Homo-oligomer: A and B are copies of this chain.
Amino acid sequence: MSISKKEIESSVKDKELIEIRRKEIVNAAVDLFVRKGFHRTTIREIAQKFGMSVGTLYEYIRTKEDILILVCDYINSTVRMRVKPSVEITKDSAQSLINAIEIYYRIIDELQDYIIFLYQETKSLSHENRKYIFKSEEDMTAIFEDILKHGVEQKSFKIEEKNILLTAHNIMVQGQMWAFRRWALQKNYTLERYIETQSKSILEQITTH
């Protein structure tokens, strides 16, 4: 699951302690990163925020980028952990899709600051770690792909085989734009209306008439 956690070395031996301290680090860093951005946040601030010395902080990470990886990983797995168990593929494909969309869009609304941060700071990661974030995004997309495929098999949806992937991406992006374009959308629509309208129009375009 979390590739990165295994890869970040630490000079501390106690595995459990590493887990605990890293959670503290992430908790402190996530807030600061989201508020001030990665580059503008200093190691000293992070350490201070949960009352640890800079030296100790460096016992649990190697570089500042490690913290960014931990934070991105945390955001990603939070989203996935909350979407995945709630989504279910039932016989009623249309309803499955509507449910999945609602769950995903609500989480985006709740974590909008985190989502925006994730997308804007991905570029600060090394190539290796950026790939990992993309992989994670593809996993999320696969959830919607599966629902769509199932619906096509059931003949509830009518989508060309090759366009299923694209439709899944559209669904995801139309959710994420609620965060990205909040300066325009959130003053014109409520979340409820947004979810309803978007899912209706997505369904419209894939349902067999």
Contact = CB atoms under 8 A, between A and B. Distances in A.
Interface of A: 37, 39, 116, 119-120, 122-124, 134, 137-138, 141, 163, 165-167, 169-170, 173-174, 177, 180-181, 183-185, 188-189, 194, 197-198, 201, 204-205, 209
A146 to B, nearest CB: 16
B184 A177 contact: no
Contact of A174 (B120, B122, B170, B185): B170
B205 A181 contact: no
Contacts of A134: 183-184
A169 B185 contact: yes
Contacts of A167: 201
Given A166-B185, A166-B198, A173-B173, 11 more contacts: A37-B124, A39-B39, A119-B119, A120-B122, A137-B184, A166-B188, A169-B177, A169-B184, A170-B174, A204-B205, A209-B209
A136 to B, nearest CB: 12
Contacts of A137: 184
Contacts of A119: 119-120, 180
Specify how many copies of this chain sit in the oligomer: 2
A173 B181 contact: yes
A29 B152 CA distance: 49
The 8 closest A-B pairs by CB, nearest first: A205-B205, A173-B177, A39-B39, A201-B205, A120-B120, A134-B183, A204-B205, A120-B123
Contacts of A204: 204-205
Given A141-B184, A173-B181, A184-B141, A197 B37 contact: no
Nearest to A131: B183
Given A120-B120, A169-B177, A177-B173, A184 B37 contact: no
Nearest to A177: B173
Contact of A163 (B163, B180, B197, B205): B197
